Chain A
Amino acid sequence: MKKGFSVLLVLFLTLVLTVFFMAVSLRVGNLVRSINLREVEMNLKASAGNVLFLIASKIRSDYIDNIDNNGNYNFDLSAFDEAASPSWIEDFLDKVTTNQTLEGISWSEAISSFDLNTCYVPKSNLQSLINSLYENVSVCLFQHKYISNFLLCITRSEKGNFVSYSWGFITPKYYSNWAVFSLEGVGEGGSNYYYAWGERIDGPSFFGYPHNLNVLGDISPIPPGSTLPPDAIGTGPFFNGRVVTTGLIYKVSGTRNEATYRIEFDSDEDGEYEDVFSTPYYYSYSLETNDTPLWVYKVSDGQVEEVIYAYPGNYEIDRINKVIRINKGIKYEDLSPDLFPFTFASGGDIISKDEWETIKRLDFEKKEEYYEEIDEQASLLVFPQDSGKLDDPDTIDPSQGYGIRFQGQKLKVYFDVLKVEEIKTRDGEDLEFPGLSEDATCSYIEIEYPSNEPNKALIIVIPESSLKDQEGNPLPYPWDAFIYEKNKKGKNWSLVYDNPIPFKFNGLIMNIHGGSGSSQGEGEAIEIGYGIKDEHVARIMGRFTLVSRGSIEIYGDLIYDGVYNKLNELGLLDESKSIPEYLNEHGEAGRNILNELVSETNTIDMLNVVSLRRDITLMIAKNDEETEDYTKNVKLFGNFFCFGGKFAVQHPDVNKGYRHVFGSITARELTYTFTGSYDDWQGWKEYNVYDDRLYNNTLLPFGTPQMREIIILSFRVM
């Protein structure tokens, strides 16, 4: 080698080594920097989330003890100061709603219903606790434009250029947050009954101990070569929300063809097929190819006992010998809703009896206390005690919102929407409603008692202009209204007062004795489902809660006024057409027709029907000799709560179509509603559609059964 070349070589190698280690160092440095940044981000997210729960705990603490003089629980924001909206709210909105994804659009719509001009910030003592736990965290609460008990909570943490947000909606928890809540499941007289073909439960549902959830359907095999979707979709019930239950039985009726393929399952993947059975029901999206998941349901005594799931490629179909060989799969011996995707679209959970006990204790044992507190705290006009006294100027405080309480009468309640002139024509020419024109539209409630032979009636008239503003947005209760009474002498009704008396009505009508007596009163029953114009269609304009300590019987449709005309146009108002029949005509695109109509018409109406100790029952007819089929394909718009009894039907021996409930059902127990087969049945099949407004507790009437607990909806950290 030439002299000097080795030196150059060493220098070159040194240079290369230097460059190499610089590159490595830079790489490591960048990595460490990015790790540090991520750690900062994570810390900010954690801080923001933790402070949100701190704020929620304060709101809860103040809420559960804050009963107002109407007997209602309300959020108390005395721990917060009113302030102008912070400058960072724009940054928050930009980040949350910036893209036109479905989620971004949903957030934009949800947040737009809050008053973002005014926010509530923690007072000094609460802020000092936050500061002692975390650095640089700001909090803002925003109230819903129309619902004071509905808050948007946003927490913001920052460090340098990094910002993190956590947010969620905080609102009282209500029973109506479940589409169907049956504490003891579906049973009657100790027996278990089944959801079956063609029935639908929309929204989250709960079925508890001892009856649990029982389902009857057909899990039909698809003949090899078919590409059709499984018949099971059409032949079993369908649950469109997440299901929580203490137990699940899936019974197979066996009316469809059994599978003709033998199943061979290599359960331990040793090449041997240990599990062989020849009379299964099985299900797959298609057996034409092997690239779809395979579900195999092993049935014993008409009931699914095991489910085997195989991924595509882990099973093979021998069409010549009619054998399906599963080389690798998962066997489930404990059934859960997740194993029946064609029935439970959102899956579900099985909970233990201990967890059920907790829910039972929390949810059902305080329901009467709630109304007793309302009874003690709220301003109530009491009948017949106050009958004939309302024209005394000292009886009614014009600034106070009132509910109505009956003491043990059997009531018959009519709901309708009438013009002032129609009310006058009905009740007498001399009736005066100061400030209302002849053609003013009003919500009309007539309560007659006793229900079997009414001789007294209380009438409440609420102008539409009190219930909603000119844009159709809901106005908060109490509403300006009128009240008057009528007595029946012979065959004629006569007014008790010269004119209707103005008062403020909060929408609550209770039928309970005062105090906390342990037994049901002699009366305390309510009949509903009546209208003035159409005897068996109650047209409801406004937001009302009917509470009975006794039973409640339903004799006709309960329809929200906002969708009344649209339903009429679609032919869904009368008894002739059910929603499934409508879907047959219009296709599955119309599946969410009821919620679409409510949204499209900006419907503000909502009804709660509450029985504290007895059943709410859909009746066949008033008298045995009546043959009118006015409850066929009945439409019940409302939230139904039976804390002591059953949500039930009388069992007819004729086909009554479907019992549609648009809203929610909370009951100690549900009864079966029909007997028979897929296309030939007696009674009503169930078709329940969850009112989407209940997801976020908007527009709930005064006196909606609360759980004295808060719920944090849509909690997010970003």
Chain B
Amino acid sequence: MKKGFTIMEVLISLVIAAIFFVVLYMITSFLLKNSMEGYAQGIITDKLLNANYEAWSNTTSEIQTSQLLDALKTSPQSFVEEENINIIDVSDDYESILTTLDIEDQIRILKIEFNTTQKLSRKFKVIVPLFDWK
């Protein structure tokens, strides 16, 4: 066996290493991007606006939170488990001002909370119309 490395061997090693890192970067980047984008798509774009559109599409004088929950569960690209969604009717917290404005029978105010498996949570309030506005 010859002692030491030739310059050619070192160069080849470096080229291989460089290719390795580039490929590694591309794979990591691709995976990371996809997972993050999928995550963002699911938790933000899809779920947040979807929940609002579901709530706004109500045209009946009553809405059960279970209806909305079902709609959220069956909406596209759903990855949030049922137990990770909380829908709370917080209309009573605003009862006084809603009554003053005489709109207590016109809307419900729901607080929707997503708790994902990634321990990330989002909360937002949605106005649900209780009349046929379409």
Residues on A lying within 8 angstroms of B by beta carbon are: 1-2, 5, 9, 12-13, 16-17, 20, 23-24, 27-28, 31-32, 35, 38-39, 42-43, 45-46, 49-51, 53-54, 56-58, 60-62, 79, 125-126, 128-129, 132-134, 173, 362, 709-712, 715
> Closest residue of chain B to A45, judged by CB?
B49
A129 vs B21: C-alpha distance in the bound complex, in angstroms?
Answer: 56
> Closest residue of chain B to A39, judged by CB?
B44
Q: A128 and B97: CB pair below 8 A? A: yes
Chain A proximity of B21: nearest CB distance (Å):
5
Please indicate the chain B residues that have their CB under 8 angstroms from the CB of A32 in the complex: 36
Known: A27-B32, A49-B56. A710 touches B131 (CB 8 A): yes
Q: B107 and A46: CB pair below 8 A? A: no
> Closest residue of chain A to B14, judged by CB?
A12
**Residue among A24, A50, A54, A61 with the highest chain B CB neighbour number at 10 A:** A50
Q: B25 and A24: CB pair below 8 A? A: yes
A519 vs B121: C-alpha distance in the bound complex, in angstroms?
Answer: 63
Q: Which positions 23-50 of chain B face chain A at CB distance < 8 Å?
A: 24-25, 28-29, 32-33, 36-37, 40, 44-45, 48-49
Q: A5 and B10: CB pair below 8 A? A: yes
Known: A38-B40, A38-B45, A45-B49. A129 touches B97 (CB 8 A): yes
A134 vs B25: C-alpha distance in the bound complex, in angstroms?
Answer: 42
Pick 5 A–B contacts, CB within 8 A, sort by A.
A20-B25, A43-B124, A56-B129, A128-B97, A710-B133
Known: A132-B94, A711-B133. A43 touches B48 (CB 8 A): yes
A60 vs B104: C-alpha distance in the bound complex, in angstroms?
Answer: 12
B72 at interface by CB-CB < 8 Å = no
> Which interface class (under 10, 10 to 19, 20 to 34, 35 or more) fits B?
35 or more
Known: A42-B48, A50-B52, A129-B98. A16 touches B21 (CB 8 A): yes
Main secondary structure on B side of the interface with A: helix
Q: A23 and B18: CB pair below 8 A? A: no
A132 vs B131: C-alpha distance in the bound complex, in angstroms?
Answer: 23
Q: B101 and A129: CB pair below 8 A? A: yes
Chain A proximity of B105: nearest CB distance (Å):
8
Please indicate the chain B residues that have their CB under 8 angstroms from the CB of A125 in the complex: 97, 100-101
**Residue among A23, A51, A61, A132 with the highest chain B CB neighbour number at 10 A:** A61
Chain B proximity of A659: nearest CB distance (Å):
30
A24 vs B32: C-alpha distance in the bound complex, in angstroms?
Answer: 9
Known: A53-B107, A54-B127, A129-B94. A20 touches B24 (CB 8 A): yes
A305 vs B102: C-alpha distance in the bound complex, in angstroms?
Answer: 51
Report, nearest first, the 3 A-B pairs whose CB atoms are least far apart: A57-B106, A35-B40, A50-B127
Chain A proximity of B99: nearest CB distance (Å):
11
Known: A50-B125, A56-B133. A27 touches B44 (CB 8 A): no
A31 vs B48: C-alpha distance in the bound complex, in angstroms?
Answer: 19
Chain B proximity of A38: nearest CB distance (Å):
6
Q: A79 and B109: CB pair below 8 A? A: no
Q: A57 and B45: CB pair below 8 A? A: no
**9 further interface pairs, Cβ-Cβ under 8 Å (given A42-B45, A42-B49, A50-B126):** A1-B5, A24-B28, A28-B36, A43-B124, A46-B52, A129-B94, A129-B98, A710-B131, A712-B133
Q: B124 and A46: CB pair below 8 A? A: yes
A134 vs B124: C-alpha distance in the bound complex, in angstroms?
Answer: 9
Please indicate the chain B residues that have their CB under 8 angstroms from the CB of A362 in the complex: 132
A32 vs B44: C-alpha distance in the bound complex, in angstroms?
Answer: 12
Q: A38 and B44: CB pair below 8 A? A: yes
Q: A1 and B32: CB pair below 8 A? A: no
Q: B134 and A9: CB pair below 8 A? A: no
